[in-house]
Structure 1
Amino acid sequence: MIFKQGRFSGFITPLSYLLDLLVINLFTNFLQINFQNPVQFYSYITIAWVILSFKNEFYDVYRYSKVIVVVRKLFTQFVFFFLILYAYIGFFKQPLMSRLALGQYFLLVFTGIVFLKILNFFLLHKYRERVKGNLRNVVVIGRSKKSNQLIEVFNERREFGFNFVAQFGPKDSDFELLKCFQFIVNNNIDEIYCSVSELKNEELTAFIDFADNNLKTLKFLPDNKNIFSKKLKFEYYDYLPILSLRNIPLHNSFNAIFKRLFDILFSLFVIFGILIWLGPLLALLISLESRGPVFFIQKRTGFDNNEFQCFKFRSMAVNENSDFQQAGKNDMRVTRIGRFIRKTSIDELPQFYNVLFGNMSVVGPRPHMLKHTDEYANRVDKYMLRHFVKPGITGLAQVRGYRGEIERDSDIQNRIKFDIFYVENWSFFLDLKIILETIVNALKGEEKAY
């Protein structure tokens, strides 16, 4: 059955294991590490690598996994591998072992395996997309909105390697379980995706039994109850299983402290590296063009729905509507220097003081004006969930194109969807990705940065 799903999928992980083990063992020959017992060292790093890989799920990368997942696994794997590698010196009492050569060996292994891992990830994507290889045949049972969205994913994301074959509607007049099962068998279907909302309990049981008896992968679209669409946390109270509706990563003390340390270091870097010389220059240009303060200070809604003073370089002429009316396209209130600093997002730089003071984070949902918080809290479902974390200078919604003026209801609705996704799926690597995309967008200039 090794060929059943993906034709040669069963070989990918063992082959990756083998290549990585060859790298960590063969690269020792390129440097004068001076280990006294080669067999002992080879055994040590091989066993350590295998245990770490198992513990960190290093090779659990799926066809639908994102590149950020691969980067996170590489980071975790090599942090622990570094510690274990240097622990060898003390554990086996190796006074003659070269610490410098061992560090060079680590960098060499790191470079080699990162290259192989990323190359393998993208080559498989291109192979599935262009050569149409390593495919999995799939059928969808259901005609719900989520079912149709899933089919769109199968058809548009060809790099995932899913070959959509057919869709069955349980509520169709001609739907029959036996005919559906026969089609799945005759067409060598690998995976079945069922819409829970459209199947009766006995039909769900029939699909489970059929999949088990025919070695088919069965998956469900949890679209019958809103609770099942959440990222659930599974816990045991004694022997009783309990599901928590929402698990917010930044409510974990370690994650919160780590993010705060990063915010402090990053804000200090920007303040002393950029603002210390750019600030006086902008202050002069802003003052020369229009009367008023250099900084625009506005009350906005922050963490836990608390108000705070948000800093920006003033980009408009002083006006009475600044706390109630967003800047629009060709807004007459925006000054000439204001257009430039808004287009390049330079006007947001003083918010790094907010980050340093603890009101904001580098990355998070963008803080809204008090008026907008009151307005959207009543209009947009789950709007207030964005206040479970500190607001950010940039955020996932912004790098996905939902920044600036809100022209349609769909703008704020989509923005909140991305905000909630960020709140429920935060990771340090997601923050890094958003920061890099923000820098790129700022250099290119954004359509709605006006």
Structure 2
Amino acid sequence: MSKIDLAIEGFPSRQPVTAAVQRNVRLWLCMLLLAADLGALATGFALGLRTTGMPLLSSELWQPLAGGMIVYGVIAFHNQAYNPVCLTRITPSLRNASMALAATLLIFLLVVFSLKATGQLSRLGISAGIICSGALLVAQRLLIVRAVRRNFSDDLFAQLLIIDGGTIPHDVNGMVIVDADAAGIKADLDDPYMLHRLGTLLRDFDRVVISCPTDRKADWAQMLKGGNILGEIIVPELDHMAPLAVQTYRGVSTLVVARGPLNLANRAKKRLLDIAITVPLLIALAPLMIAIAIAIRLDSAGPVFFKQERIGRGNRLFHILKFRSMRVEQCDAAGAASTRRDDDRITRVGAFIRKTSIDELPQLINVLLGEMSLVGPRPHALGSTAEEQLFWQVDRQYWHRHALKPGITGLAQIRGFRGATETRRDILNRVEADLEYLHGWSLMRDIGILIGTLNVLVHRNAY
């Protein structure tokens, strides 16, 4: 049994049924919201056109309107109009849907004027259709939010309460409660396997609340920041202070300390970019990868791939894949010794593939499996050190990087922060760049980093 298996021993291997049901319910409700939006748009325009006596079954009229509804659906999805939050909160639901409708109408009018089709359309009918559609859109969203609140309330999201010697709220109905001592969980920032154990527990939930003594709150906050989850800590002593960055959890004040950096739409866009680039790359590079594999086997005895434990999203461990560049008997599984120039552990083929970054190509398989992304914070070996200190001992913010999937390349790499970590500043530069990327993520930035990576494939620090 591997160390990773030991770290999660006693945990269920399958996601809890209640969490799966809650996610399915949210998915179906979001699809219902989409269908209701499109129905409101179609009905509103039908009513508006009916007031002017225009034929409702005219294909010349409904074809562009159908195209407009598709455009609305795309813009609304991009604008978070189908975020699960819109199922229970009126303000973001109406705001996001209204902005999507306004953007769609702007595009519709620009197309109509560019095609000089204004004379073929009834201005009164279109105006009446816009007003009716907008009114129906608002009305149905109000009804859906109220219905969801009435029928689901807090049961729409999977919530976990971890008790680590703290107080238990009076109302815990529908909550999954875990005793930290009984589950073998503690706030230990120096134990990657403990973080993996916590990450494995959290992956089935949408929100986690920690109840612990005051002296453990800071450690729990650091533990949660890389968990890719809405994380809160119960702080009853804040009841009379009423600070702004506090929420209420079952009648008890909580301090919000963590939140997943990417919403559903952005995660979907990032994953689509990964798949769209990774699959063609793997097909195109297959001959090169086969040739490298043969060269490695001819150069030295041992496996073609080198597998090593790394920390991934949510602080969960995974095995990263690389082409083996060192002699098997001298491979450093923990990564405690950084590679040096003229390192005698590196084989002849290994020196070439490391210099050209070809040894990283098998990580495209990690991307395909969903363990990594093309762009993100680089995952480091558990034993990596800087000035004889483990990376997370140099800077506790190191754990925050794991709120995103690790990447084959990243902002730190294109800025030249790669190679051996001989000083504390070497790892601090990486952490600062990774946190900047995490807090300022955009799809265009990912594309820019991928383009910038082409300039640093061969680098003076790559050895």
TM range (shorter): 0.3 to 0.5
* Structure with higher RCO (Cα < 8 A, 6+ apart): 2
TM-score, length basis structure 1: 0.46
TM-score, length basis structure 2: 0.45
